[in-house]
Amino acid sequence: MDLFNYARRTSSEVYIGAVPLGSTNPIRLQSMTNTPTTDTAACVAQAKRIADAGGEYVRLTTQGVREAENLRNINAALRSEGYDTPLVADVHFNAAVADVAALYAEKVRINPGNYVDPGRTFKHLEYTDEEYAAELEKIRQRFVPLLDICRRQHTALRIGVNHGSLSDRIMSRYGDTPRGMVESCMEFLRICRDERFADVVISIKASNTVVMVKTVRLLAATMQQEGMDFPLHLGVTEAGEGEDGRIKSAVGIGALLADGLGDTIRVSLSEAPEAEIPVARKLRDYVLRRQGHPHIDALAAPDFDYLNPTRRTTRAVGNIGGGHPPVVIAARLGDEAADFLPQFTPDYVYIGHRQPDRHQPGHRTEGVQYIVDAVDWTGQPGTWPAFTPQLLCFVGGCNAARKFLFATYDSLSEETLACLRHHPEVVLVAQSNHPNRLGEQRALVHRLMREGLQNPVVPFLHYAEDQAEDLQIEAAADAGALLIDGLADGLFLLNQSHALAATTVDSTAFAILQAARARISKTEYISCPGCGRTLYDLQATIARVKAATAHLTGLKIAIMGCIVNGPGEMADADYGYVGAGRGRISLYRRKECIEKNIPEAEAVEKLLALIESDAAARP
């Protein structure tokens, strides 16, 4: 894979009804209904809304045989109304349901974590090699009959691994790791290969974007090593809703699309299913704009590990680089007031040729430092000069302890590299106007790594968007891979449209850093999009939980519709609110279930009481 030049991964073609994916087909968009699959009219109406929005596949939950059999009625009703959108059955815990669903859906999704293995209990199990092989044989014996049904019915299969529902068997042998997730998938793929069943799509998801990206990269590499080229479905599970859901999805999915991985995507939002499609389309289309871009001539640093990236080693310049969390640089270049949101106050503000006191008469915002063009810098405390490559000759004569250099990949001349080598106090602000901005900014950092330079790097990403959603998706897609690869010591966002407030741009930068697990600035909500298994009003509950916990910072709270991924995601969340039955909720502290089957009307208050009790008990 070329880190710097975009090209789609080569994959096999899989027919799902009359809508093939993989190979040279477009990257397909899909969503999932959240109506009971036994309610034919409701499912048909929602499937039509998804299709009308541009969804090319519609997935429906099939908890039992009754739901699986009703796919026949849903499918027939849709076809009678002129819709040929393929249906995908979503199966968990009951392999027999998959056998029935394969008769009536164009594709069946199974979860390796609970297809044959029992539900996850977080117990550590010890296996000899012979015992482990016997467990794999159980999978084969149960899985091959499903492949035979799918072959006869021309039904495609999706092997969908979720971080939140890995089996105890996999967890015990491989741990809660990308390798364990990949192996959970490969156990099933090897059976498909042995049985010569090729109509397979793979998904491997997590709510943690770093885990998700690393795992899909490892899966693609592992398949290549074993001679497989199955197409990939991408998604971030439990991404949430609103700004957070869009940014989190764009960070994870965008980082993989940018490297050519992915043949179909779903943006999982805790909103109406049809609302997912326009967001997915914007993300896909934005990444695909870089197709056919001018070649970027660059070499990867020899010590960079694409499959297991770590943060680049840098020398700290003040609070930038070293072991410090990535900083946020904002811009206030016009006549607008330098107002900031308390929770999302940037660390640095670039004000160009102005002086801070002139920019914001009477006072400065406490804690904010200012970046001023070098020719206008007067040495005021809390201000730092910004240079361009044309002003390199003045860097040595400037006595500032922190200096900023705006530079592009093409401007990394020997003179520029020598300046950086002699001035470790310089922070490089990486600019790019290239159609593949990610590739060129990657190239810049890799050049520094190959030269042994440890100056911090802050990517500068500029846009001119009138809609907050467009800015969120594009900036998150551009920054995601840089942050996950460990190549960024901060983020500098600039939006040149006056339609969006500067504070919206600031909050977007902080949200991107949080979505990439690089810097936590607010409570993170891990919430599923809901489906036919959800037996309470998910969107209303999310709103109530957010309202009750908005004053908290640094926590991860999961709001899950059911037990499929709920308990598993508790391992990554501090607290969990999980549907346990109709109108009933269970509360978790990480993996531990604290209280079961609480009436829904009492659950939010009990969750808040649990959080407050834990906080009071801390020293």
Rounded to 10 deg, the angle between the 468-484 and 276-288 helix axes is: 60
Residue that is last in its domain, among 491, 515, 539: 515
For residues 500 and 381, membership in a common domain is answered with yes
Residue that is last in its domain, among 490, 515, 540: 515
For residues 122 and 269, membership in a common domain is answered with yes
3-class DSSP state of 473? helix
C-alpha span between 287 and 292 (Å, rounded) = 12
Token digits for 215?
């795992």
CA-to-CA dists, residue 455 to 89, 289, 335, 397, 513, angstroms: 51, 31, 33, 19, 20
Q: What is the mean pLDDT of residues 521-531?
A: 80
pLDDT(573) > 90: no
CATH assignment at residue 573: 3.30.413.10
Token digits for 459?
């990517």
The band of 525, judged by pLDDT with boundaries at 50, 70 and 90, is confident
564 CB neighbour count, 10 Å cutoff: 27
Residue that is last in its domain, among 469, 498, 515: 515
CATH assignment at residue 113: 3.20.20.20
For residues 549 and 447, membership in a common domain is answered with no
For residues 510 and 537, membership in a common domain is answered with no
Token digits for 312?
């680049």
Given a contact cutoff of 8 angstroms between Cβ atoms, the answer to whether 399 and 383 are in contact is no
For residues 421 and 275, membership in a common domain is answered with no
Q: What is the pLDDT of residues 442-457, one digit of tens each?
A: 999 999 999 999 999 9
C-alpha span between 557 and 374 (Å, rounded) = 45
In a domain, 294, yes or no: no
C-alpha span between 74 and 285 (Å, rounded) = 31
Which residue range(s) make up the domain with 43? 14-288
In a domain, 410, yes or no: yes
Across all residues in the chain, what is the average pLDDT?
91
For residues 103 and 32, membership in a common domain is answered with yes
Amino acid in the structure at residue 223: M
For residues 362 and 502, membership in a common domain is answered with yes
CA-to-CA dists, residue 422 to 18, 396, 454, angstroms: 62, 9, 11
In a domain, 302, yes or no: no
In a domain, 308, yes or no: no
CA-to-CA dists, residue 275 to 26, 53, 409, angstroms: 20, 8, 38
For residues 404 and 535, membership in a common domain is answered with no
The band of 362, judged by pLDDT with boundaries at 50, 70 and 90, is very low
pLDDT(567) > 70: no
Q: What is the mean pLDDT of residues 98-123?
A: 87
pLDDT(361) > 50: no
pLDDT for the residue 122: 64
Given a contact cutoff of 8 angstroms between Cβ atoms, the answer to whether 495 and 330 are in contact is no
For residues 409 and 474, membership in a common domain is answered with yes
* Residue of 586, 595, 610, 578 lying closest to 164 (CA atoms): 578
Token digits for 75?
């499918």
For residues 401 and 441, membership in a common domain is answered with yes
501 CB neighbour count, 10 Å cutoff: 14
In a domain, 303, yes or no: no
For residues 394 and 489, membership in a common domain is answered with yes
Amino acid in the structure at residue 49: R
Q: Please, what sign has the CA dihedral across residues 467, 470, 473, 477?
A: negative
Could you give the percent of the chain with pLDDT greater than 90?
Answer: 70
C-alpha span between 29 and 281 (Å, rounded) = 7
In a domain, 136, yes or no: yes
pLDDT for the residue 526: 82
What is the pTM (predicted TM-score) of this model?
0.92
pLDDT for the residue 565: 59
In a domain, 295, yes or no: no
Q: What is the pLDDT of residues 248-293, one digit of tens each?
A: 999 999 999 999 999 999 999 988 999 999 999 999 999 999 999 9
For residues 262 and 356, membership in a common domain is answered with no
In a domain, 395, yes or no: yes
- Contacts of residue 556, Cβ cutoff 8 Å, sequence gap at least 6: 523, 524, 525, 526, 572, 573, 574, 575
Q: How many domains does the chain have?
A: 3
Given a contact cutoff of 8 angstroms between Cβ atoms, the answer to whether 460 and 492 are in contact is yes
Q: What is the pLDDT of residues 580-601, one digit of tens each?
A: 878 888 898 887 889 988 998 8
